[in-house]
């Protein structure tokens, strides 16, 4: 690059560094703060935000793992439950005997 | 103001603002008003308009602090720079474009105009030429000549890679070098 080109670059750089600037009013921050005091906040919460807040509330570090864990726990409890449920036939026999007993009363 | 509030980082302040804290908002506003005003001024070249843009941006933040989402892992300043830049660009789009003077009214070599007037002309012309740059080049230039913003952060504000930002600045400077040749 020629010296002249270099000089032009430097001059342009200097021009850009010294662009015109007018400082802000000293009370700008104050004005913003005062204006905000009279303004209500928008408390509209989207569904996604609500779910995020809910998880934050319960401090679930990894919701996916916690939910999967809960599911596995449920399955394990279900599989370990004692099989003492009455068979369907026994159940229907019980219902019939109950009905006949009822008729006997009449 | 409560002692210790000014030591809180931006993230803490924003969480408190989301909970409705005026103190936190005040600390944030005092911390950054100057910086964002400087950027807005670069675009609009008018004190009142730049102040209005910064004021509106902060008040919108107060009204709807939920827009700031910390989990996205971006710095408050990066996010807010983007908001201010967008507001400035919107303002410029609404404003009627200023026609550039076809002829450069250069002072003659004899020096009939004094240095202050010449400087003023030079600056006016520079601002006109910057305003005429394509939007992205203009933004790159304005962000990179803000002394508080690193090139990396400027690239993040624009959502481009560092290389792309550097290329935008180079193109902007080449255009300005060409259009300002009478002054260089």
- Please report which residue ranges of chain B form alpha helices under DSSP H: 10-18, 22-44, 47-63, 76-94, 115-131, 135-144, 151-158, 162-179
Structural domain span for residue A66: 50-79
Statement to judge: residues B159 and B76 lie in one domain: no
Residue A95, CA atoms < 13 Å, CB-side half-sphere: 7
Return the percentage of chain B with pLDDT > 70, whole number.
Answer: 86
Q: What is the CATH number of the domain that holds B67?
A: 1.10.1740.10
Question: Predicted ipTM?
Answer: 0.82
Smallest Cβ–Cβ distance between B55 and the set A32, A44, A46 belongs to A32
Q: What pLDDT is recorded for position B17? A: 92
Q: Is the pLDDT of residue B80 over 70?
A: yes
Statement to judge: residues B73 and B136 lie in one domain: no
Structural domain span for residue B83: 1-95
Q: Is the pLDDT of residue B121 over 90?
A: no
Q: Is residue A97 part of a domain?
A: no
Provide the phi-psi class of B114: left if phi over 0, else alpha when psi is between -120 and 50, else beta: beta
Model confidence at B103, pLDDT cuts 50, 70, 90, reads very low
CA-only gyration radius of chain A, Å: 39
Its pTM surpasses 0.80: no
Q: Is residue A56 part of a domain?
A: yes
Burial label for B108, CB within 10 Å (0-12, 13-18, 19+), is exposed
The answer to whether residues B64 and B25 touch, using CB atoms and an 8 Å cutoff, is no
- Of B95, B111, B133, the one marking the end of a domain is B95
- Of B52, B74, B95, the one marking the end of a domain is B95
CB pair distance less than 8 Å for A21 and B183: no
What is d(CA B165, CA B154) in angstroms, rounded to the nearest whole number? 8
Backbone angles phi, psi at A97, to 5 degrees: -65, -35
Residues from chain B contacting residue A22 (CB–CB below 8 Å): 41, 47
The answer to whether residues B57 and B83 touch, using CB atoms and an 8 Å cutoff, is yes
Residues in chain A: 106
Measured in whole angstroms, how far is the alpha carbon of residue B6 from the centre of its chain?
A: 25
The answer to whether residues B55 and A45 touch, using CB atoms and an 8 Å cutoff, is no
Q: Is residue A61 part of a domain?
A: yes
Q: Count of domains in chain A?
A: 1
Instruction: Tell me which of A54-63, B23-32, B136-145 is least confident.
Output: A54-63
The pLDDT tens digits of the residues spanning A22-77 come to 999 999 999 999 999 999 888 666 677 677 766 766 666 677 888 899 999 999 99
Query: Encoding tokens for residue B62?
Result: 């107060």
The pLDDT tens digits of the residues spanning B55-78 come to 999 999 999 998 887 666 678 999
The pLDDT tens digits of the residues spanning B33-59 come to 999 999 999 999 999 999 999 999 999
Q: Is the pLDDT of residue B129 over 90?
A: yes
Residues in chain B: 184
Q: Count of domains in chain B?
A: 2
Q: What pLDDT is recorded for position B62? A: 95
Q: What is the CATH number of the domain that holds B132?
A: 1.10.10.10
A36: nearest CA partner in chain B: B59
Residue B153, CA atoms < 13 Å, CB-side half-sphere: 18
Calculate the dihedral angle through the C-alpha atoms of A32, A33, A35, A36, rounding to the nearest 10 degrees. 110
Query: Encoding tokens for residue B65?
Result: 């602090």
Candidates B5, B6, B38, B62: best to mutate against A (most CBs of A within 10 A) is B62
What is d(CA A32, CA B61) in angstroms, rounded to the nearest whole number? 11
The pLDDT tens digits of the residues spanning B149-177 come to 889 999 999 999 999 999 999 999 999 99
Statement to judge: residues B75 and B106 lie in one domain: no
Q: What pLDDT is recorded for position A44? A: 64
Model confidence at B96, pLDDT cuts 50, 70, 90, reads low
Model confidence at A95, pLDDT cuts 50, 70, 90, reads low
Q: Is residue A55 part of a domain?
A: yes
The pLDDT tens digits of the residues spanning A41-53 come to 886 666 776 777 6
Q: Which residue has the tokens 């003492």?
A: A84
- Of B48, B64, B95, the one marking the end of a domain is B95
CA-only gyration radius of chain B, Å: 19
Statement to judge: residues B87 and B111 lie in one domain: no
Q: What pLDDT is recorded for position A58? A: 66
What is d(CA A70, CA B180) in angstroms, rounded to the nearest whole number? 69
């Amino acid at each position: 690059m020629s010296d002249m080109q270099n000089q032009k670059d430097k001059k342009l750089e200097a021009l850009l560094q010294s662009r015109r600037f007018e400082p802000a009013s000293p009370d700008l921050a104050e004005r913003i703060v005062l204006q905000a005091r009279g303004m209500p906040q928008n408390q509209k919460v989207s569904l996604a935000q609500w779910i995020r807040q809910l998880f934050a509330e319960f401090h679930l570090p990894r919701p996916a793992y916690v939910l999967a864990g809960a599911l596995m726990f449920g399955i394990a409890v279900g599989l370990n439950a004692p099989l003492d449920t009455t068979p369907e036939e026994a159940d229907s026999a019980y219902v019939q005997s109950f009905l006949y007993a009822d008729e006997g009363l009449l | 103001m409560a002692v210790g509030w000014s030591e809180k980082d931006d993230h803490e302040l924003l969480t408190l603002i989301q909970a409705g804290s005026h103190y936190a908002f005040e600390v944030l506003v005092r911390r950054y008003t100057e910086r964002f005003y400087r950027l807005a001024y670069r675009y609009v070249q008018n004190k009142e308009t730049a102040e209005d843009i910064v004021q509106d941006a902060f008040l919108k933040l107060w009204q709807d602090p939920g827009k700031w989402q910390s989990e996205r892992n971006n710095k408050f300043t990066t996010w807010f720079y983007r908001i201010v830049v967008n507001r400035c660009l919107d303002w410029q789009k609404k404003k009627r474009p200023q026609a550039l003077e076809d002829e450069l009214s250069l002072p003659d070599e004899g020096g009939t105009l004094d240095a202050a007037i010449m400087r003023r002309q030079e600056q006016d012309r520079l601002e006109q030429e910057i305003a005429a740059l394509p939007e992205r080049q203009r933004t790159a230039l304005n962000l990179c000549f803000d002394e508080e913003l690193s090139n990396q952060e400027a690239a993040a504000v624009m959502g481009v890679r560092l290389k792309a930002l550097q290329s935008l600045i180079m193109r902007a400077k080449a255009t300005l070098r060409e259009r300002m040749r009478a002054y260089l």
